[in-house]
Amino acid sequence: MKLPSPQTLPEFQSVFPNEEACLLYLFDLRWPGGFVCRKCTGRKHYSYPLRRTVVCKTCRTHVRLTAGTIMERSKQPLLTWFYGAFLTTTLTPGISAVQFQRQLGIGRYETAFQLLHKIRAAMVAPERELLHGCVEIDETLIGGVHKGGERGRSTQKKTLVIGAVEVRQGRKRSVVAGRVRLRAIPDAACSAVVGFVQENVVPGTTVLTDGHNGYNALQRLGYQHRSEVAAALPLAHREFANLKTWLRGPHHDRVERKHLQAYLNEFAFRHNRRFWPFSAFQRVLQIAMKTAAPTYHELYQADEFGTDVHVR
Ligand SMILES: [Zn+2]
């Protein structure tokens, strides 16, 4: 079944005029071939949109459509979630919590903040494929990130970010960036950089790095490791420059170090789908249906690098 992918706000409003339309969309994402009861495999059901629930006609099993999703236990209308997914994926720089709160008339900033973070959790596909072919790896320092969110204080500790960029052939022997992965790491120790490569790149891949000897173990681990002079990593450098521009944008002036990883995930998701922003909307909701998002408590208790809540 082909689900609609609205491309403009008027289209969005006609596809999703109310809660029921959103619920039907979630229904189709969960059961693309029609309802099947997980207990008795019955196919007939009743729908209760107000309770976000479907009940099997045969055995009366209740299925809450938002259970086990990023929307679980949310009191916000589904329409607010759908607007969040639509605006995050289709607006070029994304949307800030402040803008989102204003545009949708959400009462508290924290509600908007939390909702967008949960959407970011649906920007990392659990079954995503590792990078392959030829991959540039490099690190950069992301500065101006407020430690612990104490705004205005000059404790702007820089955070080390490692990135992997697939090298693809462009036209006329040029190279273009394929998929990107990014991770905030505590330091450039061998264990951190090599661990990142192992989690994100298929063994056997040609891996280009700078001369940092932390990468030397890669050859032994089955990678074709080539260490280049720094100037020979053009794609990684360009992505880091794009990332910094994006993070400096007006929306992201409140990024705290412990949540930086969530923005790195969003940046990579946007980059990897930059030619298909409208299918990205559907993709986010698809992942959202299978993703338990960080709770309010987890978001605020995240460790220094947000590893426990933003790395999956
Ligand atoms: Zn049943």
Return the higher-pLDDT residue of 59 and 300.
Answer: 59
Asked if the structure places residue 56 within a domain, the reply is: no
CA–CA separation, 94 and 91 (whole Å): 5
Q: Please, which pLDDT band fits residue 5 given cuts at 50, 70 and 90?
A: confident
Least Cα distance to 178 among 143, 150, 206, 211 occurs for 206
* 43 Cα–ligand 1 center, Å: 8
- pLDDT, position 257: 85
Q: Tell me, in angstroms, the distance from the centre of ligand 1 to residue 47's CA.
A: 14
Distance 56 CA to ligand 1 centre (A): 5
Rounded to the nearest angstrom, the distance between the alpha carbon of 40 and the centre of ligand 1 is: 4
> In angstroms, what is the span from residue 55 Cα to ligand 1's centroid?
8
pLDDT at 2 over 80: no
The reported pLDDT for the residue numbered 147 is 46
Task: Say yes or no: 85 and 113 in one domain.
Answer: yes
> How far is ligand 1, taken at its centre, from the CA of residue 38, in Å?
7
24 Cα–ligand 1 center, Å: 19
Cβ contact 196:164 at 8 Å: yes
According to the model, what pLDDT value does residue 309 have?
75
241 pLDDT tier (thresholds 50, 70, 90): very high
- From the CA of 59, how far away is ligand 1's center (Å)? 4
Span 189-236, pLDDT tens digits: 999 999 999 999 999 999 999 988 899 999 999 999 998 775 689 999
Number of domains in the chain: 2
For residue 137, pLDDT beyond 70: yes
Residue 197 neighbours by CB under 8 Å, 6+ apart: 137, 164, 207, 215, 218, 223
Q: How confident is the model at residue 23 (pLDDT cuts 50, 70, 90)?
A: very high
pLDDT recorded at residue 243: 93
Q: Which domain does 85 fall in, by range? A: 1-34+66-121+273-312
Q: What per-residue confidence (pLDDT) applies to 1?
A: 63
* Residue 7 and residue 110 in one domain: yes
Residue 111 in any domain: the answer is: yes
**Which CB contacts under 8 angstroms, 24+ apart, belong to 270-274?**
270/89, 270/94, 271/177, 271/179, 271/180, 271/239, 271/242, 272/179, 272/180, 273/89
- Tell me if 60 is assigned to some domain: no
pLDDT of residue 278: 79
Kindly state whether residues 310 and 204 are assigned to the same domain: no
> Does residue 53 belong to any structural domain of this protein?
no
Q: Identify whether 80 is part of a domain.
A: yes
Q: Separation of 61 CA from ligand 1 center, angstroms?
A: 5
* pLDDT at position 231: 61
pLDDT at 252: 63
- Cβ atoms of 111 and 76 within 8 Å: the answer is yes
Cα–ligand 1 centroid distance for 288 (angstroms): 24
pLDDT at 251: 61
| Cβ atoms < 10 Å from Cβ of 108 | 9
Q: How far is the CA of 64 from the centre of ligand 1 (A)?
A: 14
Is the confidence at residue 155, as pLDDT, over 70? no
If one compares 56 and 300, the residue with the highest pLDDT of the two is: 56
Q: Give 71 Cα–ligand 1 centroid separation in angstroms.
A: 24
Predicted pLDDT of residue 81 = 96
Q: Spell out which residues have Cβ within 5 A of ligand 1, the ion.
A: 37, 39-40, 42, 56, 58-59, 61
Question: Are 177 and 225 members of one domain?
Answer: yes
CA of 36 to the centre of ligand 1 (A): 8
Do 178 and 225 belong to one domain?
yes
Asked if the model's pLDDT at residue 145 lies above 50, the reply is no
Same domain, 115 and 151: no
70 and 104 in a single domain? The answer is yes
Q: Is residue 115 part of a domain?
A: yes
- Identify whether 59 is part of a domain: no
CA atoms within 13 A on the CB side of 270: 23
> In terms of domains, do 258 and 277 share one?
no
Asked if residue 40 is part of any domain, the answer here is no
Structure confidence at residue 34 (pLDDT): 93
pLDDT of residue 297: 81
Please check whether residues 240 and 142 belong to one and the same domain: yes
Distance 57 CA to ligand 1 centre (A): 7
